[in-house]
Amino acid sequence: MTAQAQPRPISESKRSIMKTAAQLFAEKGYGSVGTAELGAATGHGKGALYHHIRSKEDLLLDIMTLYLHDLLAEAGTILSSDEDAASRIRALSLSLMQAVVQDNAEMTVCFREVHALSPERRRDVLRLHGDYFRLWELVMNEARDAGRLRPVDPDELKAMLGMYFYAFLWVGPQRAGDIEALAAKFSGIVLRACRKD
């Protein structure tokens, strides 16, 4: 399975393993966590663990891609709405900030450990990021064509999305009650940066 394929349904047991593994990988580094430690932390013996994860690298890929698939699905729903550009940007901002806060360990692992994947799998993860970028680009281009926002080139958009994604460094689960306010601040920055003069 490549990262671009739609993910298979994930059992609650596997989701629990992924959440625990993401925390361990974020705290200690992927290379420093062995399967014995992972088994002990999840309460699974080696056989039961491998029943759920196939391999440690497969687990790493799943951790890196599940939140991206979720973001893509949510962005697709937002783009299919009849909302105006500003409302779509606010909705995309909220969706992305929820991921930064609620999937903070997964995002940390994705950005810090992507080098641990095989080259093909690393390209798959980067493709998912590219797919997500293109959805934001579509919203920006539609807003430009409708005369709502100024033209925004890809470098500017990458910089703005970087503001969101790298917030994992300073925004964590302790901000769960603050997600909507954070999202409003970030979307406000985007909208002010892109408004027509």
Question: Rounded to an integer, what distance in angstroms lies between the CA atom of residue 136 and that of residue 126?
Answer: 16
Map tokens 């596997």 to a residue: 14
- The answer to whether residue 75 scores a pLDDT higher than 80 is yes
Question: Rounded to an integer, what distance in angstroms lies between the CA atom of residue 13 and that of residue 137?
Answer: 36
Q: What is the pLDDT of residues 113-124, one digit of tens each?
A: 999 999 999 999
For residue 195, the cross-strand partners are 149
Question: Rounded to an integer, what distance in angstroms lies between the CA atom of residue 133 and that of residue 97?
Answer: 15
Angle, alpha carbons 20-21-24 (nearest 5°) = 90
Give pLDDT, residue 48: 80
Residue ranges in the chain assigned as alpha helix (H)? 12-28, 35-42, 46-53, 56-79, 85-102, 104-113, 119-145, 154-165, 179-194
Give pLDDT, residue 1: 35
Give pLDDT, residue 12: 86
pLDDT tier at 7, thresholds 50, 70, 90:
low
Question: Rounded to an integer, what distance in angstroms lies between the CA atom of residue 32 and that of residue 29?
Answer: 5
Backbone angles phi, psi at 43, to 5 degrees: 75, 25
Q: What is the pLDDT of residues 146-184, one digit of tens each?
A: 999 999 999 999 999 999 999 999 998 899 999 999 999
- The answer to whether residue 25 scores a pLDDT higher than 90 is yes
Give pLDDT, residue 5: 45
Q: What is the mean pLDDT of the chain?
A: 92
pLDDT tier at 140, thresholds 50, 70, 90:
very high
- The answer to whether residue 8 scores a pLDDT higher than 70 is no
For residue 139, how many C-alpha atoms fall within 13 Å in the half-sphere facing its CB?
27
Mean pLDDT within 66-70: 94
Give the amino acid at 13: S
End-to-end CA distance of the chain: give it in Å, rounded.
Answer: 47
Give pLDDT, residue 124: 95
